[in-house]
Amino acid sequence: MRKIVTSVLAGVGLALACGTSVHAQDKELTIFWAEWDPANYLQELVNDYTAETGVKVTVQTTPWPDFQTKAFTEFNAHGDAYDMVVGDSQWLGAGSTQGHYVDLTDFFNQHKLGDVMAPATIKYYAEYPGGSGKYWAIPLEGDAIGWSYRKDWFEDPKEKEAFKAKYGYDLAVPTTYVQLRDIAEFFHRPDQKRYGVAIYTDNSYDAMAMGVESAIFSYGGDLGDYATYKVDGITNSKEAAAGLDMYKELYKFTPPGWGKTFFVEDNQAITGGLSAMSMNFFAFFPPLVNKATNPYADVTGFFANPAGPDGKRFAALGGQGISVVSYSKNKDEAMKFLEWFIKDETQKKWAELGGYTCSQAVLKSEAFQNATPYNKAFYDTMFMVKDFWATPEYAEVLDQLNQNIYPFVVGGKGTAQEALDKTAADWKATFTKYNRYK
Amino acid sequence: MASVALTNLDPASRAAARGWSDLTIRNMFIIPTLVFLIVFNIFPLIYSLGYSFTNFAANRSEPWQFVGLQNYRELLSDDHIWSNFVITAKYVIVSVAGQMIVGFGLALLLNRSFPMKGLITTLLLLPMMMSAAVVGLFWQLLYSPSWGPINYVFGLGDFAWLSNPDSALYAVAITDIWMWSPFVMLLSLAGLSAVPQHLYEAAAIDRASWWYTFTRITLPLVSPILLIALIFRTMEAFKTFDIAYTMTTQPTAELIAIRLYKQAFQQWDTGKSCALAYIVLIMVLAITNLYVKYLNKVKER
């Protein structure tokens, strides 16, 4: 008996010893991101890196609603499960001030990334605090709110005639929110199971906030002064209230039961032939031009977020930068990877695979802009983006916004002004709590 | 209690041969469980009680401060939290009442012999064997105004169950009733089958009406077990999270457990979340205690 035990133990010991020695030769990097198509494209891209260097890179993903929770649980525990994370732009504040991210300022300056990447992507994905010249991430996936629409409905001569008779101008891709509203109303025919527009209403993370802020920004409003944390008179300005009112107006023309919707539902509105127009992040557009996933792929068009009444035109920024996690045991290896990632050839390949590169040179190239039906709209949008708060307490700020605007937009409770007044008051209290007013 | 003395070891047993006393053996069985309970239950419970008096936030590296009762004060004067409690109370009343009525009704129907009784009982138990998140996702599809069968069957057109602020909570409660009525049914069936048949026979000889038999024989004899079902379901309903979280994001259906989750794991307001968790715990304890008192009274009868 004793002999058997000894030999088994020896066997286990030998296996362990061999296992660890093999393991030591293999270098591995883990990148954490949300579960969506771009993460698959990234995995394809990094396979090239493995082929070149022998370092195995794995892109680990989790569904969107868990993304923030899972990443921060790991950060808070100072865990080394992820070497790099492709984090939301709003995480920069918490990531940098709480020591979760490695400071990439030197890397940034050394490679002059300020000239390589599109300005908006540096401002929102990389720098924190705004204007400080401190960088915490390399822009990886550019993204913003855009729109898809049914070209065949828009181009139908009968519809065009009826539209002109009703509204006095030609039916075309909307350039203002008022036109967008009119078109939504025009195509909203519940008895035919056809609806005007699909918008974001999910309030469990930032979906609804992204939709609402796109309208608020275009109407000339702002969420606050991100440098001084001033919110009174900015968050609840007349312009902001008008933008929120417009969003609520659009909600009237959504398909029934449109109360918890994000990218999946908004794409279904097009693929299911439900609505004339649909809001979504550009990163979710690839399935819409694919015949296998969208029966209306041939007749689906795309446009950039329309302007407000004063011609101001903005769109909510999505997208992410890649940061090195400060608790990783492979930081040097991760920096080497980033050096490879910012190379022009890599960025070009990234765009070809379907990733939204932030490299100016690639974005401006004809090849990129004509590669898909939506790349031109994406290029236009990336120069008119604005983002949400990126302070460390953004999750609290986001929840307060959701609590105040959701009952107004979906529940029809109160007015836009009241919802924003309450938001401004809540935000002021939160910023006071965190000593933001010195 | 002292009368439950441990029996002495058989002197011929292997344990006795190794010189173990019965006390040693008792400890060997009990201590691991106790250690497990203390490490994973009692210790976190006390630790989080400590946190509830601080402004600790798990995502910040700054040192935390002792803030006394501030968290409790803020929570109890927060209108949002109170509205969450009112929503939770409504939900508990509707869903538990529904489960008791449907579950007990089913048990009465099943408490007789008919062909394929075993199969039908097993099929009726299926809902409670499913994962709550899966049930939530399926019911979301069933309620869908565009293609959901519920609106089709009842001819409700495009009534949006889950997007309508007035109906969202009740839609979730209906799902919970569907899922957990079988549990009440199972317990009631056990209670019903324990009622001695001779009581019914005596009642039949006396020509007692159905209603008289039900209220004077069936209910009093089944009520202790019904109360146990009620305690379990109330406690569970009070802390419902999964079904409601997967089905709707309506603020009018935001149960206290969902608020707690958001506060703890989205906003990382750890200190305050601990305080809220304690408030919920105290409420559940108070309600359960009331039930247990009543249960003891019923048993004495």
pLDDT at A170 (0 to 100): 95
SS3 content of chain B, % helix, strand, coil (to 5): 75, 0, 25
Given CB atoms, is A196 within the 8 Å cutoff of chain B?
A: no
Q: Which residues of B touch A255 (CB under 8 A)?
A: 145-146
The neighbour count for residue A4, using CB atoms within 10 Å, is: 8
Given CB atoms, is A90 within the 8 Å cutoff of chain B?
A: no
Q: Which residues of B touch A205 (CB under 8 A)?
A: 266
Q: Tell me if B163 and A98 make a contact (CB, 8 A cut-off).
A: no
How confident is residue A14, by pLDDT bands cut at 50, 70 and 90? very low
- Considering only CA atoms, which of B146, B265, B135, B222 is closest in space to residue A256? B146
Which chain A residue shows the shortest CA-CA distance from B163? A259
pLDDT at A406 (0 to 100): 94
pTM, two decimal places: 0.82
Q: What residue ranges do the domains of chain B occupy?
A: 2-44, 71-300
| ∠ Cα A76 A81 A83 (to 5°) | 100
Q: Which residues of B touch A99 (CB under 8 A)?
A: 61
Q: Say which CATH topology domain B71-300 has.
A: MetI-like fold (1.10.3720)
Given CB atoms, is A409 within the 8 Å cutoff of chain B?
A: no
The neighbour count for residue A19, using CB atoms within 10 Å, is: 10
CB contacts under 8 A, A 104-133 vs B, are none
Nearest-CB residue to A259 (from B61, B162, B268):
B162
- Residue range A394-402: mean pLDDT, rounded: 91
Residue B98 has pLDDT above 50, yes or no: yes
Give the best residue of B163, B248, B263, B272 to mutate against chain A (max A CB count within 10 A).
B163
Nearest-CB residue to A396 (from B159, B168, B267):
B267
Q: Tell me if A260 and B60 make a contact (CB, 8 A cut-off).
A: no
How confident is residue A37, by pLDDT bands cut at 50, 70 and 90? confident
Q: Tell me if B249 and A72 make a contact (CB, 8 A cut-off).
A: no
Residue A6 has pLDDT above 60, yes or no: no
What residues have CB less than 8 Å from B174, skipping those under 6 apart?
B98
Tokens (6 digits) for B51: 């946190």
Q: pLDDT tens across A41-65, in order? A: 999 999 999 999 999 999 999 988 7
How confident is residue B73, by pLDDT bands cut at 50, 70 and 90? very high
How confident is residue A120, by pLDDT bands cut at 50, 70 and 90? confident
- The percentage of residues in chain A with a pLDDT greater than 90, rounded to a whole number, is 72
Higher pLDDT, B87 or B157: B87
Tokens (6 digits) for A39: 């993460």
pLDDT at B266 (0 to 100): 83
Q: Tell me if A257 and B250 make a contact (CB, 8 A cut-off).
A: no
Cβ-based contacts under 8 A for chains A and B: 84
Which chain A residue shows the shortest CA-CA distance from B84? A403
Q: Tell me if A411 and B60 make a contact (CB, 8 A cut-off).
A: no
pLDDT at A16 (0 to 100): 46
pLDDT at B268 (0 to 100): 84
- The percentage of residues in chain B with a pLDDT greater than 70, rounded to a whole number, is 97
How many whole angstroms separate alpha carbon A195 and alpha carbon A250?
A: 11
pLDDT at B8 (0 to 100): 67
pLDDT at A2 (0 to 100): 52
Report CA torsion sign: B127, B130, B135, B141. negative
Q: pLDDT tens across B4-14, in order? A: 555 666 777 77
Q: Which residues of A touch B159 (CB under 8 A)?
A: 256
Which chain B residue shows the shortest CA-CA distance from A204? B249
How many whole angstroms separate alpha carbon B225 and alpha carbon B232?
A: 11
Residue A18 has pLDDT above 70, yes or no: no
